[in-house]
Amino acid sequence: MTKIDKVLELHDFGGLAKPWFAVTIIGVSNQLQILDPEQDTPIYVLTVPDSHDGGIGALVWDRVRKCIFLTSSNKIHTWSATTPERVMEYASIPEASSLYGVQLDSLGNVWVGAYPTGAVYGISSAHKIITSTGKLAPDTDYARRLVIDDEDHIWVGTGSLNPRIFVFPSNTPQEVQEIKLPKPQANGFISTLSVLGDRLVVSVSGISEQLVLNTITRSWEEPIHRVWSGRIASSAKRVGLQTVFYTISNGVLYETDTRTWNEKKLGAVPSNSIMSITVEPRRVLLLQAVPDGLSLMYINAQSMTRLQTKRIFLESGEFKIQSLMGHSDGNIYIGGYMGDGIASVNPDSGARWMSPPGQNVINQIEGMIEYDPSSLYIGSYGYADIVSVDSNRLDSNQGYFRLERLERKYGQSRPFGWAANSKNVFFGTVPDYGRSGGVLGMISPSRNDIDWVLDGGGEGFIRAHSIIGLSADETHVYGTTSVRNGYGIPDTKGPAKIFKLEITSKRLVWVSSPIADTGALYAPNLIAGWLVVADIEGIIIIDPVDGSLVRKHRLSPTNNSQRRAGWASADIAIASDGKIVHSAADTTTVVDFLTGTKSMIGNRESEAKFGYRLASLPTGRVFGVLNDTSLVELDLTPRPNV
């Protein structure tokens, strides 16, 4: 699978007429690929060691030293043209977990933003001495977007609470000035920053137009209402007597003068999946993501003549498995971390399938469920998209339909919880960045529409709790919660909850907190008249009549108190012959209720590392994740140690 993340022009490297490019793809392998536009395949393909599960966060080209600086997790790496076969670690920020927006100032110093410190860090080019702004503001955990202007001022965009702009001179990072947005937002992110002449163009989640800041007067000007495709602009280049940049809107290429901001409509171009707009002598290059690679389109910007189109095929990478679902057709369906679309594997034949690249509604899948053999429902991350899939039209783009984007009305982000009965499908969600309180909703498959969404008056169906697990019978929905909120704000205080809702009246029958020392309870299942729930330590038996604790079975050596509350950190799969499988904290265990025994499949000392996601087929076969990227079938028969 190949999902392109970023494209970077390597100025003054390769041919002068056609400089080389660096491309990053999502995943845990082959994340950096170096392209010669004259070739059909990459010249160099590199895997970043110990990378973030999603790959490379940001990258920048140092045209003097002929090297790329790139970030992944809390490390900065380099790729050098002098040693092109490897990526080497350059520096790390131990107190950060993610680094963003890597940039270079005029002296070659490296600058990055960080989460969760909400600070910007500079690494000197001479001795790798690290300086920091410190936390930019008390409510800022993310310093996510960075650009540097011609005066070596560093501009920073933040989130997830109260997104705004900060600026400071690169030689005095303690002199930070805060610039509030003209339309303040309670939460969200500065999604893009572009320095174009003496203007800073800003895109903000929740604001449709692009905001324009005069970098000299530090005042806001008239916004740009013509939305740029992908919020992408070329860099500013001298063309004749003008300095101009290029953008695309609604399939039309525009040229804009950075002095007057007068724009010229040039002509029709492709607009879907444009990754980069590059200005070259006497032409503009559009780089478009296509299945398995990139399409390079060279255009004469004055005559709008298409000079050349070139296809480059990229090396595919591996995704970390994010979600699993067993289906009645005998396949296991898979969603990839930071991926898009859905894939399947047949465990008997090995046959593999992927959704068509043009479906355009499924991003990272947090959860999914089969309603009947002809329909399944998917919860997609980013905007909490609820997606309906026609199983009879899996290979057609028309088989995929977004029912609703819950982010718009309810401020949600991740639909983790799913359940179904004979008439309806139910979903539960985690809120967006900077928010607390998930929602509970019901879908009517007969109408393929959402009947209702309960959000507790904006405070969450269960106040300030995320809804992460669901189970349903014909009259009631049972759910489990997590005190973990959207990224960027603290967890809600107190233990996780379990609830029972009467479907017809939408009335809560009971809410309980049976386990005092855990902030999250996962994967509820109705089994033999009991509600079986997972936590990090094992499985919990709940009386569905009143929500009381019946019994707890300890399976994992890890204590609940040792792990922060999560959204999907434990799972249960129902096998055959009275067995269930529990997986959490690197420990996977089979429990046989008929014999009263348990058997461990893997633990943290094992060479093989099992993930927390499980799936079972109707036949009772159970599948899990091995070493993040491999789907495996679990042998549930106890065997003596060898």
Q: Is 81 exposed, middle or buried (0-12, 13-18, 19+ CB in 10 A)?
A: middle
pLDDT at 474: 98
Residue pLDDT, tens place only, 617-639: 999 999 999 999 999 999 998 87
Task: Give whole-number Cα distances, 182 to 96, 209, 213, in Å.
Answer: 30, 12, 10
* Residue 468's CATH number: 2.130.10.10
Together in a domain, 424 and 487: yes
Q: Are 430 and 438 a contacting pair, CB within 8 Å?
A: yes
Domain assignment of residue 556, given as a range = 407-633
- Give how far the C-alpha of residue 516 lies from the chain's centroid of Cα atoms, to the nearest Å: 31
CA distance 505 to 507: 5
Residue 392: CB atoms within 10 A of its CB come to: 11
In the predicted model, what is the mean pLDDT of residues 369-373? 98
Q: Are 599 and 638 a contacting pair, CB within 8 Å?
A: yes
Using 50, 70 and 90 to split pLDDT, how confident is the model at 480? very high
**Is residue 531 pLDDT above 60, yes or no?**
yes
Task: Give whole-number Cα distances, 617 to 82, 327, 347, 349, 463, in Å.
Answer: 52, 6, 10, 15, 35
Together in a domain, 399 and 519: no
- Mean pLDDT of the residues in the chain: 95
Token pair for 6: 């970023």
Token pair for 87: 């990526």
- Which of 374, 390, 406 is a domain's end point? 406
Residue pLDDT, tens place only, 161-186: 999 999 999 999 999 999 999 999 99
218 located within any domain: no
Together in a domain, 402 and 495: no
Using 50, 70 and 90 to split pLDDT, how confident is the model at 238? confident
CA distance 242 to 250: 25
528 located within any domain: yes
Question: Which of 24, 23, 28, 33 minimizes the C-alpha distance to 321?
Answer: 28
Together in a domain, 454 and 376: no
244 located within any domain: no
Token pair for 620: 């009772």
Together in a domain, 455 and 602: yes
**Is residue 121 pLDDT above 60, yes or no?**
yes
CA distance 251 to 263: 15
14: left (phi over 0), alpha (psi -120 to 50) or beta: left
394 located within any domain: yes
CA distance 371 to 338: 25
Residue pLDDT, tens place only, 294-320: 999 999 988 888 888 999 999 999 999
Together in a domain, 484 and 382: no
Together in a domain, 481 and 451: yes
Q: Which residues contact 241 (CB under 8 A, 6 or more apart)?
A: none
In the predicted model, what is the mean pLDDT of residues 105-122? 98
Task: Give whole-number Cα distances, 401 to 219, 363, 382, 391, in Å.
Answer: 43, 13, 16, 12
613 located within any domain: yes
CA distance 406 to 486: 14
3 state DSSP class of 620: coil
Kind plus residue range of the DSSP H or E element containing 410: helix 406-410
Using 50, 70 and 90 to split pLDDT, how confident is the model at 642? very low
Together in a domain, 515 and 439: yes
